[in-house]
Structure 1
């Protein structure tokens, strides 16, 4: 049996995680979600990993939930459905909180939870022919589990529209909404991903991890006193850290910091 998720790590410490079910357009079922979650948790604990690329094999990134798996869940009880929903939440939370830079290499269309995977990435680069959407209401259900990440990515107003209409939108609209950061042609995708990786690898790993935690925390607080206090504490924590001191000193010395050697 072929693993539904594959992992490859290059000499720079860049891990490429690929959804590996091209015959069903990388649809997500319980096994795939479990494999992907285990892979992300393993990478989170590996200090040698500098960045992670999430992509899919075949023509689509992920069309969302697997049809056969969905059919089986129609016969499931509340506890089983609750468990499976919890697994999806665990996966999205693990991706969102991964303390390495996460790049979504979106080589094709993504729907429902497939789009939510992209929403968890720090950098999302997609091809111009990709389509996106949330068709759950056509089936009488709601994309409830993925809502927090989609709302954060494209905003409450746009989420209401696309959750309720179930209409599809193209890559250009996805970029304007904020789901994608960059849109280009398929033959330019790998060059753009490589460029993004090269920009990330010159940065302090600890500082990037702190930046992600800071944005996730302050993003929920707005310009409140708590957010301002969190920003101050983050500045103190980073500036007094080993990498923070090394980075500033390397800049002053006009040399590369230790993490680039």
Structure 2
């Protein structure tokens, strides 16, 4: 499938999705959102893809929403305005619920929706020059559709500050508050990501997909009898699968499981 604002690169079992609107710092409008949603939906069906990296061409990861697009949406009817916002919300969910592990490769700015994209990925690696912000309030807006993912990443207490102040957050600060996992020089960004990719390829793809579902199941839940039952049902289902049987047998026989044999 061809895209106007995205570039896809595949190297073995790893796909990098490049935001390619560099002249506008990869800000997104309706078409960019639709292309991202289509792309993530398609990737979710592919068993030949083990890891998805989200990156930005040019000087920035993503400046978030195109302000001209936001202004036009605000001037539209209530129904059209809500439908437009829902497209963004669904795209972020498509990213957050991909079965494959996802890595945000952040350099330059990741403001507003760009910070939302980084937060919706499972792992975030940033260069020292990266800057994050939930900048919406300075435009008279709120970080509504990105809020589930940013709050999940940094917690409500940190969101209470940054949603309200819209302060810029350095890469080091972002790591301290839980948004970023690794910080490195721009020159080492791809090497650091590759190290994480290699670690991911050692895990079973079905087990990783199940683990992502498990986080969504357990996060912020009380330790009720129902939650205990659901987690028990979860592992019971996973360990009955062919992948788990292969992994356990391989470990006990001191062999490599099938998914590593195919990770060439």
> Which ranges of structure 1 fall in alignment gaps of 5 or more residues?
none
Distance across 2 between alignment mates of 1:186 and 1:98: 27
Residue equivalent to 1:245: 245
Written as runs of structure 1 = structure 2, the 5 A alignment for 1:30-179 is: 30-179=30-179
Q: CA RMSD in A?
A: 1.4
Shift of 1:8: 1.5
TM-score, structure 1 as length reference: 0.96
Task: Please give the secondary structure, in 1, of the residue aligned with 2:223.
Answer: coil
Distance across 2 between alignment mates of 1:72 and 1:97: 29
Task: Please give the secondary structure, in 1, of the residue aligned with 2:183.
Answer: strand
What is the CA deviation profile of residues 230-260 of structure 1, one whole-angstrom value per residue up to 9, with x for unaligned ones?
Answer: 2211111111110001001000010111111
Shift of 1:68: 2.0
Which shifted more, 222-231 or 173-182?
222-231
Task: Please give the secondary structure, in 2, of the residue aligned with 1:155.
Answer: helix
Distance across 1 between alignment mates of 2:230 and 2:102: 23
What is the CA deviation profile of residues 154-207 of structure 1, one whole-angstrom value per residue up to 9, with x for unaligned ones?
Answer: 010111111111111111111111111011110110001111111111110000
- Contact 1:214 / 1:230 at 8 angstroms: preserved in 2? no
Shift of 1:2: 7.2
Which shifted more, 181-190 or 141-150?
141-150
State how many pairs are aligned. 260
The answer to whether structure 1 residue 229 and structure 2 residue 245 are counterparts is no
What is the CA deviation profile of residues 38-81 of structure 1, one whole-angstrom value per residue up to 9, with x for unaligned ones?
Answer: 00000001111111011100111001111221232232111121
Task: Please give the secondary structure, in 1, of the residue aligned with 2:75.
Answer: coil
- Contact 2:74 / 2:81 at 8 angstroms: preserved in 1? no
> Which ranges of structure 2 fall in alignment gaps of 5 or more residues?
none
Residue equivalent to 2:195: 195
Residue equivalent to 2:204: 204
Residue equivalent to 1:9: 10
- Contact 1:59 / 1:107 at 8 angstroms: preserved in 2? yes
Residue equivalent to 2:217: 217
- Contact 2:128 / 2:171 at 8 angstroms: preserved in 1? yes
Shift of 1:136: 1.3
Distance across 2 between alignment mates of 1:146 and 1:259: 34
- Contact 1:128 / 1:172 at 8 angstroms: preserved in 2? yes
Distance across 2 between alignment mates of 1:52 and 1:130: 20
- Contact 2:128 / 2:185 at 8 angstroms: preserved in 1? yes
Distance across 2 between alignment mates of 1:226 and 1:166: 39
Shift of 1:209: 0.3
